[in-house]
Amino acid sequence: MRSARVVFAASLAALLSLSTIAAATTANAASVHYAALGDSYSSGVGAGNYTSESGSCKRSYNSYPYLWKNANSPSAFAFVACSGAVTGDVLNSQISALDSSTTLVSLTIGGNDAGFASTMETCVLSSDSSCLNAVSNAEAYATNTLPGKLDQVYSAIHSAAPNAHVVVLGYPHLYQVPGNCWFGISDTKRNAINGAADTLDGVIAKRVANAGFTFEDVRGLFASHEICGDSSTWLNSTTFPIDESYHPNASGQAGGYLPAMTAGA
């Protein structure tokens, strides 16, 4: 009889402990005020199912900010990421979503400043040498000019939301090289484009570290899921609408960016 009482007491204690943990988790989630800033990789361009209010910003219900919000039920959610955004847009149009009550911020930014769209257009439509020149110019901008712009953004975020944990996510490689694509651009171009992503991510990671924020690298998560990859592709190749080309699809947001955001948050 005494043994049964001991077992019962131990079971009750375990249940109470689990209840306490669950209650604490719920309370923590309820206290989160989350703001998602940034460019098209954060708004979810290419993932479809866009919110009616977002217009040309193309904020998707399949984007990692929305998926994280749905999984964690924060008490407040501000989603202002926008297609085509550059660092100046974050400073001029998105920072206003933050205040002292904001506890979590996420963003991707820098790719458009470095000329991602025009570089891809050159690489798809022009010769190898033209592509390599465009990539070289983008890398030079990322190395020499972008750091100061990122510093301005990160400083502004810290000033507007001094109590927030900030997660900055990087950009994936677009191509697996060599891959299983029989058509499309050359491996020379693909390697150069991937190299530009490495340069951009390296610059962002350094500035994020200097700001005291958290950097999440998505390149490993996208490995083998790039265009021409061995597994299901998480990135759009050339597609229509054309602005959705070379962006994560719904699988890329759910399988690549959401786990990175979850790890960083």
DSSP 230-250: SS---B--S-SSGGGTTSB-H
Sequence-separated (6 or more) residues with CB below 8 Å from residue 265 = 68, 72, 104, 106, 165, 167
Q: Looking at the chain, how many residues does it have?
A: 265
Active site residue 33: no
CB 256 within 8 A of CB 221: yes
d(CA 225, CA 202) in angstroms, rounded, equals 21
Catalytic residue among 40, 60, 83, 245: 40
Q: pLDDT at residue 254 above 90? A: yes
Q: Which residues of 195-229 are buried (b: 16+ CB within 10 A; e: fewer)?
A: ebbebbbebbeebbeebebbbbbbbebbeebbbbb
What pLDDT, in 10s, does the model give residues 196-226? 999 999 999 999 999 999 999 999 999 999 9
What pLDDT, in 10s, does the model give residues 69-128? 999 999 999 999 999 999 999 999 999 999 999 999 999 999 999 999 999 999 999 999
Active site residue 247: yes
What pLDDT, in 10s, does the model give residues 54-67? 999 999 999 999 99
Catalytic residue among 33, 173, 225, 247: 247
